[in-house]
Amino acid sequence: MSEVVDRLAAAMNAHDLEAAAALFHEEYRSEQPAHPGRAFVGRAQMHANWAAMFAGIPDFQAELIRSVDDGNTTWTEWSWSGHRTDGKPFQVRGMALFELKGNLITAGRLYMEDVEHEAAGIEEAVEALSGRRPDHAGD
């Protein structure tokens, strides 16, 4: 199954939209659990999404950091990078879980997020999540 994901990474890096789309089932189901409104069904929507990505990030590159097969699911860790047409940097990291049947990706759950370049420290992150700033460890 990792062969399918390796082929996907190669197609993405070649900006070969047709080769990438050919790896997805016609009724591919995509969801982003942290962003439920982004769910969609269908290879056609995947094709439209990635046509926009390649046009908007002409130097898009995907690094497949790691993949692990677990039954009919392949767990993948990615780093996507490039520059938008307005010159702004594009950098996304995260995980995607792909369900496969035969040599086609039938479903995906993506946990991909923009990399923070002005990252807050852990105290600020915990406060943003909980409304409370943590005590310093060891105090």
Closest CA to 39 of 110, 94, 91: 110
Domains of the chain with bracketed CATH? 2-130 (3.10.450.50)
pLDDT in tens, the chain (139 residues): 589 999 999 999 999 999 999 999 999 999 999 999 999 999 999 999 999 999 999 999 999 999 999 989 999 999 999 999 999 999 999 999 999 998 999 999 999 999 988 877 888 888 888 898 888 766 5
Q: How many angstroms separate the CA atoms of 138 and 89, rounded? A: 38
The rounded Cα 8 to chain-centroid distance in angstroms is 12
pTM tops 0.85, yes or no: yes
SS3 13: helix
Q: Is the dihedral of CA 106, 66, 35, 114 positive or negative?
A: negative
